[in-house]
Amino acid sequence: MVAIGADHGGVDLKDVLKKDLAELGYEVIDVGTQGKDAVDYPDFAAEVARLVSTGKAWRGVMIDGAGIGSCMVANKVPGVRAAMCYDDASAVNSREHNDANVLTLGVGLIGVNLARRILKIWLATDFGGGRHAGRVNKIIAVEKQYFK
């Protein structure tokens, strides 16, 4: 199960990526938005992150203008390791090294074809474990200091 959301600027890309996810065999939870009326990205990023944090979604994807704000919001939710990806290398690194479970994309920074490629790479890349596991455990330890 993959949760996906977007603000009004990212809604068209969200709809494209939803179709890609379905074609790849993933069930999708669409948290909105559904139209072009102005909305606030934190509302949707928080919901995507909540679904991942609670285990109702295996992964999450959030699209806004730059991907930065949604990444900040998602990373406030315990258990979420959100990464804003902008190319193939950042998609691989976020999964392989950091075990990211939420992907944020900036529709104003990347095109549709690149976003589609990033999503596929991100979903297909496994966490590398090994030396990276200790670092991810340190991320989790920091989170536990603030969220008890």
How many H-runs (helices) and E-runs (strands) does the chain carry?
6, 5
Specify the pTM.
Answer: 0.97
Residue 97 has pLDDT above 90, yes or no: yes
Domains in the chain: ranges and CATH: 2-146 (3.40.1400.10)
Q: Is 97 a catalytic residue?
A: yes
Per-residue pLDDT of 11-56, as tens digits, reads 999 999 999 999 999 999 999 999 999 999 999 999 999 999 999 9
Residues 11/67, Cβ–Cβ less than 8 Å:
no
- Side chain identity at 118, as an amino acid letter? I
Tell how strand 102-106 and strand 28-30 pair up: unpaired
Continuous segment of H or E residues that includes residue 115: helix 112-124
Instruction: Pick the catalytic residue from 76, 97, 116, 120.
Output: 97
